[in-house]
Copies of this chain bind each other. A is one copy, B any other.
Amino acid sequence: MQFNLVATDPQSKARAGVVQTDHGAIETPIFMPVGTAGTVKAVHQRELKEDIKAEIILGNTYHLYLRPGLDILEQAGGLHKFNGWDRPILTDSGGYQVFSLAGTRKIKEEGVKFKSHIDGSTLNFTPENVMDTQRTIGADIIMAFDECTPYPCDYTYAKQSMERTHRWLQRCVDRFDSTEPKYGYNQTLFPIVQGSTYKDLRIQSAETIASFGREGNAIGGLSVGEPAEMMYEMTEVVCDILPKDKPRYLMGVGTPANILENIALGVDMFDCVLPTRNARNGMLFTTQGIVNIKNKKWADDFSPIDAELGGYVSTFYTKAYLRHLIHSTEYLAGQIASVHNLTFFLWLVKQARQQILNGTFRDWKDMMVKKLMTRL
């Protein structure tokens, strides 16, 4: 994997770059749609490529391990072949499920025991087997196995957990570096900075992670309920330590405003379920601000969802029609809203990139953050 830094904004730490993978290039800053189980919910692969213009999508190790399972993925020749997505894929390691499935898992030094949310069976995830699993899934970018701590998290636990995540990282690296990709294209491993909302821990973790000298680095454990200002503070501290010549991926973030603020702090890559999950509940992110399409005010609004954004769904379908679909709990509602929101998120990062290249990012960002948070 190659990363080329193309431009840096003069008035912020925003960067524009290009990540080269064997499945093609990714222009950064980038937003990565989440395809948990090998599908971005309610979105066809053709729409992802041609309408949304996604450059890389996520898969989730925990979910893919359970369904369709490693046998099927390996027989298919990896996830790209299985789901037909021929651009880059990044897989989360299961570290997020250590957080989100906290009620049904046990952490030990060796690894994590999960209870399957499908059939209750036991899953043992270790740093080593999570590397093997991601080798088999065939992601271009593989994440280290970590613990994503909750918010709030007491200092002692945050420190213990971070230190274990660092020990797990060494085990991940040892396993990853002693194994080969399975399908003829390269894979790379990103380590993850933890440390909860404690500045000193974040500094310690960022220094540790940077010392591994991997091809890219991630920031985890944020966007788990902490105030946005606290997230920005942590991101800034960490970005100032992580190497400039490697891409920085802020996991699970976030709203359009969160994304722009974090780009300003030096983040290159983002992912979040927000655009698709909120779409299914009728929350639209548009070039003019936030629309709750369920509201009565849209019932007789026959204007396109977002004429300025462009693209098939946003210009073809009207607000009134989409409101009708969501009130009628029709499948098409989630389909339209998901494609629209993802198109918007990809448009947003592409705009941000252009502003960075123009050297005008900072002022544009300040203006956009206000606009995008407006509720229409």
Would A330 and B39 be within 8 Å (CB), given that A302-B75, A321-B83 are in contact? Answer: yes
What's the Cα separation between A42 and B325 when bound, in Å? 11
Query: In the complex this chain forms, how many copies of it are found?
Result: 2
Q: Min CB distance, A79 to chain B, in Å?
A: 10
Q: Judging by beta carbons under 8 Å apart, are B76 and A302 in contact?
A: yes
Q: Which of B68, B312, B335 contacts A299 (CB 8 A)?
A: B68
Bitwise, A299-335 to B at CB < 8 A (1) or not (0) is: 1101000000000110011101101110110111011
Q: Which residues of B contact A82 (CB under 8 A)?
A: 302, 318, 320-321, 324
Check A38 for interface membership: any CB of B closer than 8 A.
yes
What's the Cα separation between A318 and B80 when bound, in Å? 12
Looking across the interface, which residue of chain B has its beta carbon closest to that of A77? B302
Q: Which residues of B contact A68 (CB under 8 A)?
A: 299, 320, 323-324, 327
Q: Judging by beta carbons under 8 Å apart, are B332 and A300 in contact?
A: no
Check A214 for interface membership: any CB of B closer than 8 A.
no
Q: Which residues of B contact A313 (CB under 8 A)?
A: 44
Check A53 for interface membership: any CB of B closer than 8 A.
no
Bitwise, A35-56 to B at CB < 8 A (1) or not (0) is: 0011101111110000000000
What is the interface size of chain A, counting residues whose CB is below 8 A from a CB of the partner?
41
Q: Which of B41, B320, B335 contacts A330 (CB 8 A)?
A: B41
Bitwise, A75-114 to B at CB < 8 A (1) or not (0) is: 1100001111000000000000000000000000000000
Looking across the interface, which residue of chain B has its beta carbon closest to that of A331? B42
Check A72 for interface membership: any CB of B closer than 8 A.
yes
Check A167 for interface membership: any CB of B closer than 8 A.
no
What's the Cα separation between A75 and B303 when bound, in Å? 12
Q: Which residues of B contact A44 (CB under 8 A)?
A: 312-313, 332, 335-336
Interface positions of A (Cβ within 8 A of B): 37-39, 41-46, 63, 67-68, 71-72, 75-76, 81-84, 299-300, 302, 312-313, 316-318, 320-321, 323-325, 327-328, 330-332, 334-336
Q: Which 9 A-B pairs have the closest CB atoms?
A: A42-B331, A68-B324, A39-B332, A37-B328, A39-B330, A67-B328, A75-B300, A41-B331, A76-B302
- Pairs across A and B, CB under 8 Å, 29 listed: A37-B325, A37-B328, A38-B321, A39-B325, A39-B328, A39-B330, A39-B331, A39-B332, A41-B331, A41-B332, A42-B331, A42-B335, A44-B312, A44-B335, A46-B312, A63-B328, A67-B327, A68-B299, A68-B327, A72-B299, A72-B300, A72-B320, A75-B302, A76-B302, A76-B318, A81-B302, A84-B317, A84-B318, A331-B331
